[in-house]
Amino acid sequence: MERISGIPAKIEMETTVRMSQTETPEKDNYVFDGKVYDTKEQILVSFWQGDVKTSIKYRYRDNVLTVTRKGDYETRMIFDARSKTSCHYMTSKGEVVMDIMTSSVNVTDIICDIGKIGESGDKTLSLKYMIMAGDDVLGSYEMIIKIKKAL
């Protein structure tokens, strides 16, 4: 695999969360400055979420998204629409084990206003999944992450 330097990027994230207790969706939008490493084999996005003092990395390869969070709370989550996965969420109170059921994970090129693929290689990563504890659904999640490379 070729080694490339990270390219500065703007990471725009839109999340929708439906907690099983309320079913009322909560929507949030975030914007981060980060870096993107984009090769034929994978896309790696890294950024710092200052409000929770956490380093976050998204790695997309072979239709699987791996999210690694390192800070006060640490986890490594694997999103694979072909199988249920488990993650360990490390908190100050101890470890929480959760299952992830991914319904879709996709990466597409961002299309500009005139209907063509953007020349900078910008991408959109979309993800739908549920977090479960045993057979209980704790919440349903949707994320749209736009990766806009700085030119």
CATH number at residue 108: 2.40.128.20
Radius of gyration of the chain (CA): 16
pLDDT of 105 higher than 70 = yes
Q: Is residue 91 part of a domain?
A: no
Residue 63 is part of which domain span? 7-67+104-130+139-149
Q: Pick the residue with more confidence: 23 or 31?
A: 31
16-25, 85-94, 96-105, range with the lowest pLDDT: 16-25
Q: Is residue 95 part of a domain?
A: no
C-alpha count within 13 angstroms, C-beta hemisphere, residue 118:
17
Q: Is residue 79 part of a domain?
A: no
38-42, 54-58, 141-145, range with the lowest pLDDT: 38-42
Q: Is residue 81 part of a domain?
A: no
pLDDT of 20 higher than 80 = no
Q: Given this model, what pLDDT does residue 130 score?
A: 95
Give the total number of structural domains in the chain: 1
Q: Is residue 96 part of a domain?
A: no
Average pLDDT for the chain: 86
Supply the pTM of this predicted model.
0.85
Q: Given this model, what pLDDT does residue 121 score?
A: 73
Q: 48: pLDDT confidence band, cut at 50, 70 and 90?
A: very high
Name residues whose C-beta falls within 8 Å of residue 47's C-beta, 6 or more positions apart in sequence: 11, 32, 33, 34, 35, 55, 56
Q: Is residue 12 part of a domain?
A: yes
Q: Is residue 84 part of a domain?
A: no
pLDDT of 34 higher than 90 = yes
Q: Pick the residue with more confidence: 12 or 116?
A: 12
pLDDT of 116 higher than 90 = no
Q: Is residue 85 part of a domain?
A: no
